[in-house]
A and B are shown apart, each in its own frame.
Chain A
């Protein structure tokens, strides 16, 4: 009965979605030609590339125009991670071993993880440093780095990341984010205003404060997600 109800619910939701989207042809914009309209979306699309010299408009909206919202998102992620840690984290007693992963994984996974782990870290760093030029950004790069640490956790049973290091990285990244915003206040503009020069399009150092903020967000997200994984893997039901 419950399963039939769930399936019925899925069918109804799918039918409503299909009915909505069937009126739009494939690949066509719902709003018509948005660049001709006088909406805020049209303003972003028409002015971002010239005024900010940022090739990735999504990044410009997320960090430059809606920077305060991004600060809120990062705070939500921080609160979720620290809530999880406050419930599950406990210090290991002397002579105590991990319960979760009892035996070493296969030789294949160990060698592969050792080989590919630096490449994953470099890819994550590339994604958040080039956030204003190519697709991606702080959240994506941080998640990629955390998945690299996940690979190491799965391959080696003795692999640990110190919680102190994670806390310091996360705190310094958060302070950097907020201090970039306060820097805008000090120099006479608003909070998180883009006060630096924007440079030329497609340069690595361009777009004002966008690369700075995305580097901070990348470190912060990577530290938080790695901390979540570390806490979960070392959690043990108490006897």
Chain B
């Protein structure tokens, strides 16, 4: 192949277009163009459009006119909006703590040699692979007020005598949604942290053990600091996905009972798509942006500090 390329080059002059590709700047431009076009058209443009929309009075079938920050002032007086904000932070905070703790535990359990390890690892990751909406329906069915298998089990074990209406009570519904989110997120944490654990040389732990460090101290002073960079990146992705979550709440409760379990995204959908108030829905979505931005910047700065330490 190289020979023919050379032969062709001397036989006839290379086309100008191809020569330009020898210049790294032109080649880079050509290689990045498809990505830039798609991302510009469907991320940058919608973002600008979203800002314009949130400053207008548009609804379905009515382009509306510029109204300034009116939609945002309206949100500031909206109780359901503040409930959604609180829910989002509470949901993200609680589930992240559990996902990290359980995921780390599972990663440590998997970080040994035992028979069937590859199969166990493949199965463990299943909740993360299977489409969220579909697996969440299985959970909704398990939490069904009348036919709940969870109630049946608790009843048989003797823990309850009356049924628990899992999705009918605001706090229980939120807790149920959190359980599903944790169930789906633990495998991701576990497998990523397992990869992190495997890069830590076992000699370090052995050396600490020879020096007399107890297992807990070995974890806290040797493993954990080395694992911290991977942990922070995993947390970054998980926090953003959880903060902007939609599917779980949409399927489990649809934001109910009585709008008590809305998150930013489900409330934006409720207002913008179901009620057709595009501008106000866009405002709810965009209200997520400053929070996300701060979370991302703080985490990225922290990651940089951890990595350069």
Whether both chains belong to one complex is answered with no
Interfacial residues, chain A to chain B (CB-CB below 8 A): none
